[in-house]
Amino acid sequence: MTGYEIFWPLLAHVALVYGLYGLLGLRRKKMVRAGKVARSDYRENRGEPVESLVVKNALANQFELPVLFYACSILLYITQADNIFTVSLAWIFVALRYAHAAVHVTSNEMRYRSPLFAAGYLVLAVLWVWLAVWMAMD
């Protein structure tokens, strides 16, 4: 394949990150306007209201497993190991990140979040295994 197809899921994930930053800003602004917190309280992130804390935590999650996803995607491209299988898995991983973030910023129910995280973890593991097998065969 070795076109740019493997990078579209990365761009979709970047959109998620920017969307979460926007949501965080909106929720923090709402908390300040409602008088629940002073703007200066965000300087040291003490006593963050749960309404914005869940978004902040969802955003932090986008810099954990996804870092490995970015590295793997770039390596798949460089080694020409990207194909319809890996691109499909990349899209599945990103869709799971969107679902995980959606649960995180709404109900924040662990019974939904945990399986979504685990599924993404496994999909990413398959991508890394594919990369390792590809390089071992070369």
Written as one string, the DSSP assignment of the chain is --SSTTHHHHHHHHHHHHHHHHHHHHHHHHHHHTTSS-GGGGGTT-S--HHHHHHHHHHHHTTSHHHHHHHHHHHHHHTT---HHHHHHHHHHHHHHHHHHHHHHTT--HHHHHHHHHHHHHHHHHHHHHHHHHHHH-
Number of domains observed in the structure of the chain = 1
- Whether 2 is covered by a domain: the verdict is no
- Whether 1 is covered by a domain: the verdict is no
CATH of residue 35's domain is 1.20.120
Question: pLDDT tens digits, the chain, 138 residues: what are they?
Answer: 769 999 999 999 999 999 999 999 999 999 999 998 888 888 877 788 999 999 999 999 999 999 999 999 999 999 999 999 999 999 999 999 999 999 999 999 999 999 999 999 999 999 999 999 999 998
67: domain range? 7-137
Claim: this prediction has a pTM higher than 0.85: yes
